[in-house]
Amino acid sequence: MNVTEASIEVTAIPLADIEPNPDQPRKFFDEAKLEELAAQFRSVGQLQPIVVRMVGGDKFQIVMGERRWRAMHLVEGATTIEAKVVSSVDDEQAFVMGISENIGRADMTLMEEAQAYADLVGFGYQAERIAEMFGKTTDYVRWRMDLLNLTTDIAELVAEGKIKADFAWYLSKLTPANQKVAVTRYMKGDFKTETDASTFAQALRMKENQEGFFSEKELSEKEKEDKAKERKQAKGKVDQVERAGTLLEELAKLTPSELADLFEGEVGKHLDAVERVRKAAAEAVKKLRKAKAMSEAKQLKVRPELEVEPEAEEVEGEEEPSETEIAEVAAEEPSEAELEAAA
C-alpha cells in the first residue's frame, strides 16, 4: 500500500508511549535548535503534529517528527504530543517518510544524507528513482553516496561541517592514505582557498592514476637546452604580466569620471582590451593553480602514519566563483555548477 493511502487520525499521545525509529536517517540533533523549538511550543503551542505508527500493544514509533518529539520533552509539564497515527506503514515506507522529512534540512549532515541514500539502495531503489523521489539529480545522489568512501575519521570531520561538500567529494575519490595527506594539510591551513584544496586532491588522484604528470624520461642534451629556453621565455612573459598588472592597478585607482575624460570616445575599445586580459588572467590562474597542485603532489612522499587533526581550526576559503571550475580528470567528475548545487 502506498503511504498516501494509509488511514490517518490525529490524537494526543503520551510522550512515554512513543519511541524513536532506530533507523532514523538523522543521528545528530542540535541542542540549541531543540531549545528554540521548545520555546516556540511554550509560546504558541505545537503547530504541526508528528507522525507515528503502532508497533505492537499500545506503543508507537516515530515515522516523522523526532525533532518535535525531543523538543516537547524540554517543555515543562508536557506529558503528551499531538500525532497523526498512520496504519499499514511497513519499515521501508517509514524509512522513506523519515528521509522525506529530513532531506534538505540545514541540520542534516552530509554523511547522514549519504547513508540515507545508500540505505534506500539497500532496499532495492536505483539512484534514478531516489533522485526523482526527493527532487534531486541522479548525479547529486551518486556524489553524496561517494562520500561513504571516506575514512571514518575524515567522515566525522565532514559530518561536523569542518570539511565542505566539494572538497569532501574529491577526497572520496582518493586512497585512504592520500585522503589523510590532503586533509592533514587542509586542517593545518596550508590552502588559501577551498578551490586550492580541491585542486590538490584532484592532483593526488591524477598521481594515483598516473595521468597528466611530467614525463619521467631522461632528456637529451638538445632537449635540455630547448627546455631551458622555454623556461627563460616563460619567465620573461611572467615578468611582463607583472608589469601589466602594475599598470592595471594604477588604472583602477582612477574614478569612472576620470577614465571617461582620459579615454573620451575610446572607452569601449579600452574596456574590451582590459576584459580580454581579465578573461585570459582568470584562465591562467585556473591552470597555474592546477600546475601548483600537480607539482606539490608529484613531490609528495605519502606517509600512511600521518594523523588527521580534528581539533585544528577550520579553514575558511574565500569565495571565487569565477575560478572554481577545475579541469576534468575523469568523465564522471562534476562541473563547478553541479558541485555548488550539491553543496
Which residues belong to the active site?
66
Alpha carbons 40 and 54: distance in angstroms, whole number: 28
Give the DSSP per-residue string, 52-86: EEE-STT-EEEEE-HHHHHHHTTSTT--EEEEEEE
Give the CA distances from residue 118 to residues 96, 97, 102, 138, in Å, rounded to whole numbers and listed in that order.
Answer: 12, 15, 15, 13
8-state DSSP, 50:
E
Task: Tell me which residue of 147, 140, 145 sits closest to 174, measured CA to CA.
Answer: 147
CB 60 within 8 A of CB 21: no
Strands laid side by side in the 60-64 sheet = 8-14, 80-86, 50-54, 60-64, 18-19
* CB distance 328 to 205 below 8 Å: no
**45 CB neighbour count, 10 Å cutoff:** 9
Tell me the three cell numbers of residue 124.
Answer: 532495492
